[in-house]
Structure 1
Amino acid sequence: MRAFFARPVAVRVAGASRLLVSPKALGASAYVGDAVKRARISRPGAKVPLKVAAPLPSIERYVSRLARRFDRAGIDSRLLLRGPVPFVTASRTGRELLQEPLGRALFRSLKTHARGPIKGRFVERAPVVTRNSIGDVIVIRRGLNKLVLYDGMKPLRTFGVATGLPQYPTPLGDFQIVVKWRHPWWYPPSSEWAKDEKPIPPGPGNPLGTRWMGISSPAIGIHGTPDAASIGYSASHGCIRMLVAEAEWLFEQVQIGTPVFIVQ
């Protein structure tokens, strides 16, 4: 009778080979002495139940250990730059063992003396960020005075731009669009070159054109310009100038939060 109860329970988890766990490892015990006493006073051939103590906390601890072993965290895609080109790492779907159903199944197996394979089931945990969800990415190649709009890793459109003069270089680094304004005012920055300048309202003479896409670098943004002849040159005080119509087009494509990489 003790050998009958001591048979291991078979568990299958995540395609692994069959796991065997003994009732003792699950904290279970059988009332063998009580069963023997009842058998002595029962008629020949009668079925005598073997009662089992199966403490749920012990079973839950075992299932928790299985979860730590077989759960797999999801991995979000990450946006990187390889040279001047965006690269998005692959994402991975995670999985999480459904612990409560497996615990109940183990409990029933011990109580009923069933030892057939019990299958642990998982729920998938989809990554939040994937290659398909990265969306728009802007890369500005300062040395070439080019702006390239990507959809993830796929180039969509290239623009000629003007970047900063040697004494006012456009900053290099990883940024994002933090503000978008239609028909912006121009306000003099706190720089020596602008100390005597006055604010300029929207209109034909506004140095920002008709659209402003400010990035997460102080006083730097992507904007239109009435000075079309400056496109293709290092001609600004640090901002990225575009033709007015092209700045208006880009303004409609990108969102606040769009990544902006500025490289040499």
Structure 2
Amino acid sequence: MPPLFTADSPNRVILGDNLEVAAGLPDGAFTLIYLDPPFNTGRSQARQSTTSVRSADGPIRGFKGQQYERIRGDLMSYDDSFEDYWLFLEPRLAEAWRLLADDGTLYLHLDFREAHYAKVLLDALFGRECFLNEIIWAYDYGAKSKSKWPTKHDTILVYVKNPQAYHFDSTAVDREPYMAPGLVTAEQVARGKLPTDVWWHTIVSPTGREKTGYPTQKPEGILRRIVQASSREGDWVLDFFAGSGTTGAVAAALGRRFVLVDQREESIAVIGARLARAGVKFS
């Protein structure tokens, strides 16, 4: 049986359980992995409760052996609903670590419900020295609560495989306008400023060209910034919660190669139509 993927493969869009598919991909194959898993909102979701436990002699750096088990166990006993979610997400993050190239970067996209738990456990899986950034994607759309501060942001946790060798090119990222252009020179205004770790960006417009109709679709502008900064032309990009295929569409537009995985036939249909409209070839 031929392998799912090699470095010479065409772009791939794969229907299947992402944990099973990831297990069939080779070590260190991807410069960039972007993951946008379900946010554990309390709504019903079908997911596999398979877990992976790292031991002291395993390949994961950071909190190994008993320390890692203690931290993992303490967090799980703290919140039952989190335990269920982490039994789903943890083995997939362990696979992401294995699949990253030595100069690779993981972007994990969550919201306020799980981001803080995930930060502690990613420290355990990757090692705290591999934490690069907490990115806040801020937007202003939808209902406004009057009983608390309205929640209008997502969190993207950024971890690298090797803190001494990861790829990051801020010069490749699209610059953005200054919020107070009167305080800088005309030359600076014309050039724009580099983004910080707070990204103000609208959601996908309900009437815009990007809209696919797929729920939880993320805007191309967010993925464009990620792909520009943390990969080079020709590099491989992986997204195994592919959804509407934004990662693949952006990667192809920027000259990267991609593998997209989702277990929903609806997702694969949307991705196929979207890539076909853009003239992107895949198998």
**Class of the TM-score when normalised by the shorter of the 2 chains:** under 0.3
Flag the structure with higher helix content.
2
Greater RCO (Cα-Cα under 8 Å, separation 6 or more): 2
If you compute each CA radius of gyration, which structure gives the higher value, 1 or 2?
1
Normalized against structure 2, the TM-score is what?
0.22
Flag the structure with higher strand content.
1
